């Protein structure tokens, strides 16, 4: 069975990823995949929290067994059998920062696809060590009057670059081949 999960970050309206995951994949193996996919450091403590449709915490899965099973023994099939349709991939335990993985449904197995697979994405990866998710800054709009002096300065610099290019062309004209394969500089 192959499942589709949508990953979002609660503090972002832009970020999302859609993953296709085989049911027999362990949470530990998916942890390795998502850590690499998001550019996270693999040596940090992480855990998964399983929630049912009502939002009730049903299971916690860490690198070691905390009572509900360890990540290397719990598969996505088991999580869904327990009724946990939402997983929180907690990548910053100290600040309780997580990526929410919501079950969207089942999809067909594609023999030429490697699973897990990232099938859709939007937004930049979160910084694992920042206190919160930050979007890329928008390109600031220039004020038409205030910043026009900078546009004029930029035009002046472009004109200087053009003059330098003309000087190089003149230097090229002074070099010529004497017919025997040697270049001679005409001073």
Question: What are residue 162's DSSP bridge partners?
Answer: none
In this structure, how many other beta carbons lie within 10 angstroms of the beta carbon of residue 115?
A: 18
Nearest-CA neighbor of 109 among 22, 27, 172, 44? Answer: 22
Longest dimension (CA), the chain: 87
Whole-angstrom Cα distance, residue 15 to residue 123? 4
Q: Report pTM.
A: 0.67
Task: Write out pLDDT tens, residues 100-118.
Answer: 999 999 999 999 999 999 9
Q: What does the alpha-carbon distance between residue 72 and residue 6 come to, in Å, rounded to a whole number?
A: 22
pLDDT-based confidence at residue 169 (cuts at 50, 70, 90): low
Distance, CA of 128 to CA of 142 (rounded, Å): 33
Q: How far apart are CA 60 and CA 58, in angstroms?
A: 7
Say if CB 82 and CB 41 are below 8 A apart.
Answer: no
| Alpha carbons 165 and 169: distance in angstroms, whole number | 6
- For 39-74, how does the pLDDT look when each residue is reduced to its tens digit (9 = 90+)? 888 888 899 999 999 999 999 999 988 889 999 999
> Are the C-beta atoms of residues 130 and 36 closer than 8 Å to each other?
no
Q: Tell which residue, 81, 84, 83, 47, has the closest CA to residue 66.
A: 47
């Amino acid at each position: 069975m192959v499942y589709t999960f949508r990953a979002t970050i609660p503090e972002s309206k832009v970020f999302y990823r859609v993953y296709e995951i085989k049911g027999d994949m362990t949470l530990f193996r998916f942890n390795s995949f998502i850590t690499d996919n998001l550019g996270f450091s693999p040596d940090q403590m992480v855990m998964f929290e399983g929630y049912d449709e009502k939002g009730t915490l049903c299971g916690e899965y860490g690198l070691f067994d905390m009572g509900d099973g360890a990540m290397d023994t719990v598969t996505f099939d088991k999580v869904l059998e327990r009724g946990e349709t939402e997983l929180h991939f907690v990548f910053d335990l100290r600040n309780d920062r997580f990526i929410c993985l919501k079950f969207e449904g089942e999809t067909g197995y594609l023999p030429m696809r490697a699973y897990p697979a990232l099938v859709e994405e939007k937004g930049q990866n979160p910084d694992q060590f920042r206190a919160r998710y930050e979007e890329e800054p928008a390109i600031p709009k220039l004020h038409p009057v205030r910043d026009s002096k900078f546009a004029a300065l930029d035009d002046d610099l472009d004109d200087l670059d053009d003059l330098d290019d003309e000087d190089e062309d003149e230097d090229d004209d002074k070099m010529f081949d004497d017919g025997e394969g040697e270049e001679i500089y005409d001073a």
